[in-house]
Amino acid sequence: MKQGDGSMGGNKPRPGFPAKLVTHSTGPLRKTPLAPAVRPAGPPAVLGRAPAATTIQPVKGRVASGFGTGSQAVRADMVRKLEAQGVSHRGVLAAMLAIERHRFVDSALANQAYEDTSLPIGLGQTISKPNVVARMLSLLFERESVNLGRVLEIGTGCGYQAALLSHLSREVYSIERLRGLHDKARENLRFFRLANLHLLFGDGMPGFAKGAPYSGIIAAAGGEAIPEAWTDQLAVGGRLVAPAVMASGQQHLVVIDKTVRGLERKELEPVLFVPLKSGIA
Active site residues: 128
Question: Concatenated DSSP letters for 157-215?
Answer: TTSHHHHHHHHHEEEEEEEES-HHHHHHHHHHHHTT--TTEEEEES-STT--GGG-SEE
CB 32 within 8 A of CB 202: yes
> What span, in angstroms and rounded, lies between the C-alpha atoms of 113 and 199?
23
Helices (H), 20-114: 71-84, 90-98
Helix (H, G, I), strand (E, B) or coil at 82: helix
> What span, in angstroms and rounded, lies between the C-alpha atoms of 255 and 140?
8
> What span, in angstroms and rounded, lies between the C-alpha atoms of 151 and 168?
9
SS3 of the chain: helix, strand, coil, percent, to 5: 25, 30, 45
> What would you measure as the largest C-alpha separation in the chain, in angstroms?
52
Helix (H, G, I), strand (E, B) or coil at 61: coil
Q: How far is CA 130 from CA 97, 138, 156, 191, in A?
A: 11, 12, 16, 21
Q: How far is CA 68 from CA 78, 103, 188, 264, in A?
A: 16, 12, 18, 46
- Residue 107: CB atoms within 10 Å: 10
